[in-house]
Amino acid sequence: MLLIIEALLLILAALGQDHRAASVQGQIIPLDMAPDSVDDQYMGCREKMAKLKKTQNQCYSTFRGTKVRFNEDVLNKEVRFGSFSSSSLDRKVARRFGTKSCFEIYTCEGADVTKYSKLPHEKEVLIPPYKKFKVVDVKKKEEQKGLWCDTVFTLKSSGIRSDLNCALFKKPTKTKTKYYVLNNVL
């Protein structure tokens, strides 16, 4: 199971779906309606994450730094990353991955993979693609001097959403709930 999680991270980096591995310089990434995106890409990942979470029955306050600029008009909206996303328990570690758009994330679905990582100093918490968050704050460095990134989005857990249970190439079911995907791959 733990090898699966590590493999997923490597696959995401290879496919350029993790903005840490594939940065889009100078572009503003729009938020797309999630029904138009692939939300889960791996067979049975929800169950694997649930098994790992059983050993870590807690919520985490984590940080994620990126080198891309996300649309800032998302306050009080539900969003999700749309793919497995790395975050860190250490803000300084997150800053090394970018300071353009950053996230302060409170997650109860994320899994601490530090003890399974080849880079344990990164204190990584893996956030599954089906995790939804409410954007409770958007701060900008131009308005708040000393902020750790140009724009900081504060995200709070608001549930899960998965039409596919991480299965590859299944057609998603229709949904009436509006939510946005943060990491649109252009």
Torsion of the alpha carbons at 20, 21, 26 and 30, rounded to the nearest 10? -70
Span 107-158, pLDDT tens digits: 988 889 888 888 999 999 999 888 889 999 999 999 999 999 999 999 999 9
Confidence class of residue 54 from pLDDT cuts 50, 70 and 90? confident
Burial 70-92 (b: 16+ CB within 10 A, else e): bbeebeeebbbbbbbbbbbbebe
pTM of the model: 0.69
Distance CA 158, CA 79 (A): 9
Question: Over the Cα atoms of the chain, what is R_g?
Answer: 15
Task: With respect to residue 102, please indicate whether it lies within any of the assigned structural domains.
Answer: yes
Task: With respect to residue 186, please indicate whether it lies within any of the assigned structural domains.
Answer: no
Task: With respect to residue 37, please indicate whether it lies within any of the assigned structural domains.
Answer: yes
Please tell me which residue, 162 or 94, carries the higher pLDDT value: 94
Task: With respect to residue 120, please indicate whether it lies within any of the assigned structural domains.
Answer: yes
Tell me if residue 122 is catalytic. no
Tell me if residue 64 is catalytic. yes
Confidence class of residue 105 from pLDDT cuts 50, 70 and 90? very high
Tell me if residue 91 is catalytic. no
The residue assigned the tokens 């730094």 is: 65
Please give the residue range of the domain that contains residue 166. Answer: 2-181
Q: Tell me, letter by letter, the H, E, C secondary structure of the chain.
A: CHHHHHHHHHHHHHHCCCCCCCCCCCCEECCEEHHHCCCCCCCCHHHHHHHHHHCCCCCEEEEEEECCEECCCCCCCEEECCCCEEEECCHHHHHCCCCCEEEEEEECCCEECHHHCCCHHHCEEEECCCEEEEEEEEEECCCCCCCCCCEEEEEEEEEECCCCCCCCCCCCCCCCCCCEECCCCC
Total residues found in the chain within this entry = 186
Give the count of domains, the chain.
1
Tokens of 115: 């003890």
Q: What are phi and psi of 115, to 5 degrees?
A: -75, -10
CATH number for the domain spanning 55: value is 3.90.176
